[in-house]
Structure 1
Amino acid sequence: MVKLYGYFRSSSSYRLRIALNLKGLAYDTVPVNLVAGEQRGEDYRAINPQGLVPLLDTGSERLVQSTAILEWLEEQYPQPPLYPADALARARVRGLCQHIACEIQPLNNLGVLRYLRNTLGEDEDAVNRWYAHWVTRGFESLEAEAPADGFFGADTPAMVEVFLVPQLYNARRFAVDLAPFPRLVAIDERCRGHDAFGRAHPDRQPDAPRDEG
């Protein structure tokens, strides 16, 4: 069984949980507390010098960077496919995924937000405006390409949804106004009906805080 090192709120880790579930692959979760800085600790850096999550331990190899891991999963476990069969359609899907992975998420990850707060001295209002700006700008183009029904390029959730759903989760955490993006919100609602997405949700992870009341 593979091991997934990640953090419950990490959108990159969330992506992998969804994909592993869609592929029907069992995995063990190994929490890495980003807030506590465990990713920078000596023990974790010994297995991942990048000091990032996620990391997938296949039993014979340790793979890093979610997009690379997702490509490996698709090649190693081609059924069910998360990419369309047509080469041009695959390129379009990759473009949408990279838009989320490269143009939205990196600008709003924990390290960037901490730099804004701790090094540049920005207050929470400024940090939240920063977050909302990049998410909104990224979602505007995704909304323009989103289908009126169904999913991006498929009758069932596939690779674009693997990237999109975690980003919508984070947008809600930071109170980003999603009213201008009804198609994206509708796709997210449809994904909630799939067990693979439900089991991957941050609230259902072993390192998620529990309500002790």
Structure 2
Amino acid sequence: MAMSGEGAEKTKLKLYSYFRSSCSCRVRIALNLKGLKYEYIAVNLLKGEQFSPEFTKLNPLGYVPVLLDGDIVISDSFAIIMYLEEKYPQKPLLPSDLQKRAINYQAANIVSSSIQPLQNLGILKYIGEKVGQDEMHEWPKRHIGKGFSALEKLLKDYAGKYATGDEVYLADLFLAPQIHAAFKRFNLNMSEYPLLTKLHEAYAELPAFQAGMPENQPDTPSSS
């Protein structure tokens, strides 16, 4: 789990993260599942710290998360998780079955390509300024709902206790933060998505997932 102080200085892995970032949350869960200690370095997106010269040297796009493993710098949550999977094989995040593996890639990509970018802070701010505050709230709900409908259909023949069976895999790392945000941040009516709601309940029982959630991070505001 995240470390700070003297203990953190001895760890090799460093994660630049923001408590509410679902992309950062995926990586936090991966690190937790693999039992990897890391130093948590908070990047306050509301204060624009992601655009500082120091941070943009790590990721020119100005997005979290960024992982440092010694001299290796990796940005983009998908790339980070694949790196962790290959370097730290304990607790595999991909099934050996190729069809099930492909479904994991597909589900993860629906979240990372078709849902999350459309609720990103910069996008919502732009919509609020150009279109209006009401659309700023309706826009993410519309696109989350569209993605969730697709995921319900995609996973219906594969889901067990988790997204693609009774073991946690890559798809779950992407789904858990997105479903959490739908409930907590966007107040989406989840009654239309019974499978995803069931997964949300299953994730609530997993310590590695819960330790990665927004409300449990070092930079989480006390009022959140």
What TM-score do the two structures reach when normalised by structure 1?
0.94
Confirm or deny that 1:110 pairs with 2:121: yes
Cα distance, 1:42 vs structure 2: 1.7
Aligned 1:2-41 pairs, distance under 5 A: 2-41=13-52
Partner of 1:138: 147
Q: CA deviation at 1:211?
A: 4.1
- DSSP 3-state at the match of 1:90: helix
Alignment partner of 1:125 is 2:134: yes
How far is the alpha carbon of 1:149 from its aligned partner?
4.0
1:210 alignment partner in structure 2: 222
Q: Deviations over 1:96-139 (max 9, x none)?
A: 11011001111111111011112x1x322211111110000000
CA deviation string 1:28-47 (max 9, x = no partner) = 10000011100011221123
Within the candidate set 183, 190, 212, 2:195 is matched to 183
Write the letter of the residue equivalent to 2:161.
G
Is the contact between residue 180 and residue 200 of structure 2 (CA under 8 Å) also seen in structure 1?
Answer: no
1:40-64 CA-to-partner distances (Å, cap 9, x unmatched) read 1122112322211000000121101
CA distance in 1: counterparts of 2:80 and 2:223, whole angstroms: 33
CA distance in 1, matches of 2:35, 2:50: 28
1:198 matched to 2:210? The reply is yes
Q: Which amino acid aligns with 1:138?
A: G
Unaligned runs of 5+ in 2: 1-10
- Aligned-partner SS, 2:91: coil
What percentage of aligned pairs have identical amino acids? Answer: 39
Cα distance in 2, alignment partners of residues 88 and 154 from structure 1:
12
Q: Tell me, in whole angstroms, the C-alpha distance in 2 between the residues paired with 1:47 and 1:67.
A: 16
Kindly report the root-mean-square deviation, in angstroms, between the aligned alpha carbons of the 2 structures. 1.5
Asked whether the equivalents of residues 104 and 169 of structure 2 are also in contact (C-alpha less than 8 Å), the reply is no
C-alpha separation in 1, matches of 2:45 and 2:223: 20
- How many residue pairs get matched? 210
Q: How do 1:70-109 and structure 2 match up within 5 A?
A: 70-109=81-120
The code of the aligned residue for 1:128 comes to H
Q: Would you say the 8 A contact 1:146–1:184 is kept in 2?
A: no
The Cα of 1:88 is off from its aligned counterpart by 2.5
SS in 1 for 2:14: strand
Task: Check conservation: 2:111, 2:147, Cα contact below 8 A.
Answer: yes
1:157 and 1:42 mapped to 2: Cα distance?
A: 37
Q: Identify the range of structure 1 (124-133 vs 203-212) with the bigger mean alpha-carbon deviation.
A: 203-212
The structural deviation recorded for 1:188 is 1.1
User: Which runs of 5 or more structure 1 residues have no equivalent in the other structure?
Assistant: none
Structure 2: distance between partners of 1:57 and 1:170: 26
Whichever residue aligns with residue 178 of structure 1, its letter is: M
Which amino acid in the other structure matches residue 49 of structure 2?
E
8 Å CA contact 1:157, 1:191 repeated in 2: no
- Measured in 1, the distance between the counterparts of 2:54 and 2:91 equals 35
Equivalent residue, structure 2, for 1:62: 73
> C-alpha separation between the residues in 2 aligned to 1:211 and 1:33?
16
- Mapped partners of 1:103, 1:47: distance in 2: 25
> TM-score normalised to the size of structure 2?
0.89
